Structure 1
Amino acid sequence: MSALNIILLTGRQSEAPHDEGEYPHYLCEYNGKPLIHKLIDNCAVLQPRRMICTFSNHDIARLHLRNMVPQMHPSASVLPVHNITRGAACTALLASEEIDNDDELLILSVSDFLDIELQDVVRAFRESHEDAGVVIFNSLHPRYSFARLDSECRVIEAAEKNPISSNAIAGVYWFKSGSLFVSAAKEMIRKDARVNDNFYIAPALNELVLLQKRIGAYRIEPNQYRPLKTDSQLHAFEAGEMR
C-alpha cells in the first residue's frame, strides 16, 4: 500500500487581510480546539506521510502558524500562499514538489466538515481499485461541485457550481497517486477550463474521465455534511451544535 499525503485547503485567500483582532474561520474553536486542529486529528488516523496545510503568508506571520501547526501532529506542516491564487486547484498545485509522486493524495477543504470516518472513505476507494474518488451527498444548490455518475456509481462528468446532477461533492478528493492529480490539474489549466475565472479541483476529474480512469463516489447523508462558510454556520460549530 502506498504512503498517503494530505492537503488541507483553507479556502480562497482574501484580497484584504484580516484585521489584527480577527481570526480566520479555521481557528474557530470546538471543545477547546481550533477547527484546523480537529481536522488534523481526523486525518491522523490515516497515518499520512505529510499533512500540508495551506495558509496565506499574512496569516502565517501574524498568527505564528509555523509554531502552532507542527504541534498538532508530527506530519503536519505549513505551506505559505504568497499571492492570490486562481482557485483551489492552483493552491493545491503549490504543493507539487511534495505530492507529484506515486503516493496517494487526499485533498480536503477546511470549509467542509464531515461527520464520517475518513479511513472508511479511503478504504472503500482502495478496495474498489479506483484511480480517484469523491465524497458526495444529495443537493442541488449551485454553491457546490457536482458529479454525474454511471450505473456503477462512478464519475463520468464533473462540474463546478453547476448542478448537472443531484450528487454534490463534499470537498473531499482522493487520488491513487499525487502525480495523477497534478497532471490532470495542469491539463485542465492548459485547456483554460475556468469557472468564474478560477480553476477548481472538480473539473480536473474530467481529464481523468478522458483517460478512462475509474473515479469512485462515496455517498454520505446530507446531515453528515456540515459546511462552514457563513457566520451562522461557524457560530453553530463553536457552540458545539455538531459532533
Structure 2
Amino acid sequence: MSALNIILLTGRQSEALHDEGEYPHYLCEYNGKPLIHTLIDSCAVLQPRRMICTFSNHDIARLHLRNMVPQMHPSASVLPVHNITRGAACTALLASEEIDNDDELLILSVSDFLDIELQDVVRTFRESHEDAGVVIFNSLHPRYSFARLDSDCRVIEAAEKNPISSNAIAGVYWFKSGSLFVSAAKEMIRKDARVNDNFYIAPALNELVLLQKRIGAYRIEPNQYRPLKTDSQLHAFEAGEMR
C-alpha cells in the first residue's frame, strides 16, 4: 500500500490580514481544541506520511504557527503562502515538491467539517480501485462544487459553484497518487479553466475524466456536513451545536 500525504487548505479567509486580537476561522475552538487541531486528529488515524497545512505567511508569523502545528502531530508541518493565490488548486500546487509522486494524496478544506470517519472514506476508494474520489452530499446551493455521476456512482463531470447535479462535494478529494492530481491541476490551469477568476480543485477532476480514470463518490448525509464559512456557522460550531 502506498504512503499517504494530506493537504489541509485553510482558504482565503486566512490569507487576509486580521486585526490584532482577531483569529482566523481555523483557530475557532470546539471542545477546547482549535479547529485545525481537531482536523489533524481526524487525519491522524490514516497514519499519513505528511500533513501539510497551508497558512498565510502573515498568520504564520503573527500566530507562531511553526511552533503550534508540529505539536499537534509529528507528521504535521506548515506550508507558507506568501501571496494570495488564484484559488485552492494553486495553493495545493505549492506543495508539489512533497506530493508530486506515487504516494496517495488527500486534500481537505479546513472550512468544511465532516462528522465521518476518514479511514472509511479512504478504504472505500482503495477497495474499489479508484484513481480518485470525492465525498458528496445532497445539495443544490451554488456555493459548493458539484459532481455528475453515472449509473455506477462514478464521477463523469465536475463543476465549481454550478449545480450540474444535486451531488455537492464536501471539500474532500482523494487521489491514488499525488502526481495524478498535480498533472490534472496543471492541465486545468493550462486550459485556463477558471471560475470567478480562480482555479479550484473540482474542475481538475474533468482532466481525469478525459483520461478515462475512475473517480469514486462516497455519499454522506447532509447533517454529517458542516460548512464553516460564515461568522454564524463558526459561532454555532464553537457553541457545540454540531447539528
Matched, 1:127 2:127: yes
Give the conservation status (yes or no) of the 8 Å contact 2:52–2:79. yes
Unaligned ranges ≥5, structure 2: none
Q: Secondary structure at the match of 1:14?
A: helix
In the aligned structure 1, how far is the partner of 2:41 from the partner of 2:241? 19
Q: Is the 8 A contact 2:13 2:25 kept in 1?
A: no
Report the Cα distance in structure 1 between the residues aligned to 2:118 and 2:21, rounded to whole angstroms: 34
Whole-Å separation in 2 of the counterparts to 1:55 and 1:85:
12
| Aligned residues with identical type, % of pairs | 98
Q: 2-side partners of 1:29 and 1:16: how far apart? A: 20
Cα pair 1:31 1:240 within 8 Å, conserved: yes
TM-score, normalised by the number of residues in structure 1: 0.99
8 Å CA contact retained: 2:54, 2:78: yes
- Report which stretch shifted further, 8-17 or 218-227: 8-17
Distance 2:154 2:16 in 1: 40
Deviation for aligned residue 1:12: 1.6
Query: Displacement, 1:14?
Result: 5.9
Change beyond 3 A, Cα 1:15–1:172: closer
Preserved contact between residue 14 and residue 55 of structure 2 (Cα < 8 Å): no
Q: Alignment length, in residue pairs?
A: 243
The CA distance in 2 between the partners of 1:185 and 1:16, in whole Å, is 24
Contact 1:99 1:179 in 2 (8 A): yes
Aligned residues: CA RMSD: 0.9
1:129-173 superposed Cα distances (whole Å, 9 cap, x missing partner): 000000000000000000000000000000000000000000000
> Secondary structure of 1:79's match?
strand
Q: Which moved more, 1:7-16 or 1:175-184?
A: 7-16
Q: CA deviation at 1:20?
A: 1.2
User: What do the CA deviations read for 1:37-60 (whole angstroms, capped 9, x no partner)?
Assistant: 000000000000000000000000
What SS does structure 1 have at the residue aligned with 2:58? helix
**Could you say what secondary structure the match of 1:165 adopts?**
coil
Change (3 A) 1:15 1:67: closer
Give the Cα–Cα distance (whole angstroms) in 1 for the partners of residues 102 and 221 of structure 2. 32
Distance in 1 between residues matched to 2:125 and 2:101, nearest whole Å: 19
Closer/same/farther in 2, CA of residues 168 and 102 from structure 1, 3 Å limit: same
Change (3 A) 1:14 1:5: closer
Which moved further from structure 2: 232-241 or 178-187? Answer: 232-241
CA contact (8 A) 1:13 1:84 kept: no
Could you report, residue by residue, the CA deviation over 1:155-204 in whole angstroms, capped at 9, with x for unpaired residues? 00000000000000000000000000000000000000000000000000
Determine if contact 2:13/2:24 at 8 Å carries over to the other structure.
no
- Give the distance between the partners of 1:16 and 1:219, measured in 2 at CA: 33
TM-score calculated relative to the size of structure 2: 0.99
Q: List runs of 5+ in structure 1 lacking aligned partners.
A: none
Secondary structure at 2:12 match in 1: coil
